[in-house]
Amino acid sequence: MAGNPFPQSREQLLQAYRTMRTIREFEERLHIDFGRGDIPGFVHLYAGEEAAGTGIMMHLGAGDRIASTHRGHGHCIAKGVDPLAMMKEIYGKRGGSCEGKGGSMHIADVGKGMMGANGILGAGAPLVCGAALAAKFRARPGQPSDVAISFVGDGASNQGTFLESLNLAAVWNLPAIFVVENNGYAESTSRDYGTAVDSYVDRAAGFGLPGVTVDGTDFFAVHEAAGEIIERARRGGGPALLECKMVRFHGHFEGDAQTYRAPGELDDIRVNHDCLKKFAAAVTAAGVLGAAELQAIDHEVLGLIERAVVEAKAAPLPTQADLLTDVYAQY
């Protein structure tokens, strides 16, 4: 076995691959089952973007908070939300992470620090400012604080809520990170058509925030960049913006005809920009992980996803008596 040229340990690399593979197979199964008409509501899939969520979330602990977009399944899994409970939630069943009442676009698990996916563009950014402010005041003097991370896509980066949150985080010097997952399209509109600046880092500069752009299909690049800005935020250095240039394998939503795609674009993405293929090639070429180890994880994950679907289909629906539970909080 050759030496390890990566900053991550073998165990961390195995866990990173397992997380990315779990996200991929979870999403690909939703793609199939939604097409069969088994799943109620809409789903927006994260397949192709796994390296970003995984590379960032590996730096987070139990006290850290995240807020997601309507494309939130990958963020949930990377933050440690149970895939079995997630599948029940997406199927609208009791025992789901929100007892079947949030569904795909509002899936959440506050106990895991996942404050929720959100169907409203940019809505997670103000939530993260609140979580980061609380973390700042909870932190003991001289000790690192928890952080809060907002994920947005191309479209949300143009929303007033997002821009106002950048300003607020800068003014209050919050331990907040704003991640722009730039997959090239705000729904069906090209990023180049809908956004005047060449890089979202330019947006950060306008609010006095540092920013960095990375290849979001490269787990190692994301992990390194995220580690630096998250550690800086923990130590009182304030907020930052991370732009991950990435790809999505499916449409904006399931059922999207994707007529805005160039001929051959999706084929090129699958062949040349698959983050799992890049990761596997890197670790096996270095001799740190073996192909058989990765294949074993593939098999294990497929079994997990099959079990999740079987349990979700067998789980009971919420009842009328469940309608107003978990809706209002009393203090």
135-164 per-position pLDDT tens digit: 999 999 999 999 999 999 988 888 999 999
pLDDT score recorded for residue 54: 98
- Is the CB of residue 89 less than 8 Å from the CB of residue 98? yes
What residue ranges do the domains of the chain occupy?
Answer: 10-322
Q: What tokens does 108 get?
A: 């959440």
Q: What three-state secondary structure class fits 55?
A: helix
**Could you give the CA distance from residue 256 to residue 269 in angstroms, rounded to a whole number?**
17
pLDDT score recorded for residue 1: 46
pLDDT in tens, 202-258: 989 999 999 999 999 999 999 999 999 999 999 999 999 999 999 999 999 999 999
High-pLDDT (> 90) share of the chain, %: 86
pLDDT score recorded for residue 2: 57
Beta-carbon contacts of residue 222 (< 8 Å; ≥ 6 apart): 51, 52, 54, 55, 56, 214, 215, 216, 244
Locate tokens 């394998």: which residue?
249
Beta-carbon contacts of residue 135 (< 8 Å; ≥ 6 apart): 63, 64, 65, 145, 146, 147, 148, 175
pLDDT score recorded for residue 277: 98
pLDDT score recorded for residue 331: 62
Residue 88 has pLDDT above 90, yes or no: yes
Q: What three-state secondary structure class fits 45?
A: coil
Residue 79 has pLDDT above 90, yes or no: yes
- Is the CB of residue 103 less than 8 Å from the CB of residue 95? no
Poorest-confidence range of 44-48, 63-67, 240-244, 256-260?
256-260
pLDDT score recorded for residue 295: 98
Eight-class DSSP state of 140: P
- Is the CB of residue 299 less than 8 Å from the CB of residue 305? no
**Predicted confidence band of residue 193 (pLDDT cuts 50, 70, 90):** confident
Task: Give the mean pLDDT of 42-68.
Answer: 97
Residue 95 has pLDDT above 70, yes or no: yes
pLDDT score recorded for residue 10: 97
Torsion of CA 179, 227, 169, 81, to 10 degrees: 60
Eight-class DSSP state of 302: H
pLDDT score recorded for residue 186: 84
Residue 330 has pLDDT above 80, yes or no: no
**Predicted confidence band of residue 325 (pLDDT cuts 50, 70, 90):** confident
Residue 114 has pLDDT above 50, yes or no: yes
Backbone angles phi, psi at 58, to 5 degrees: -65, -15
pLDDT score recorded for residue 157: 86
Task: Give the mean pLDDT of 181-196.
Answer: 88
Task: Give the mean pLDDT of 126-133.
Answer: 98
**Predicted confidence band of residue 187 (pLDDT cuts 50, 70, 90):** confident
Per residue in 144-181, is it b (16+ CB within 10 Å) or e — as a string? ebbbbbbbbbbbbbbbebbbebbebbbeeebbbbbbbb
**Predicted confidence band of residue 3 (pLDDT cuts 50, 70, 90):** confident
- Is 3.40.50.970 the CATH classification of the domain at 10-322? yes
CA atoms within a 13 Å half-sphere pointing along the CA-CB vector of 53: 34
**Could you give the CA distance from residue 193 to residue 197 in angstroms, rounded to a whole number?**
10
**Could you give the CA distance from residue 100 to residue 108 in angstroms, rounded to a whole number?**
11
pLDDT score recorded for residue 275: 98
Predicted TM-score (pTM) of this structure? 0.96
Poorest-confidence range of 38-52, 99-113, 315-329?
315-329
Q: How many CB atoms lie within 10 A of CB 120?
A: 13
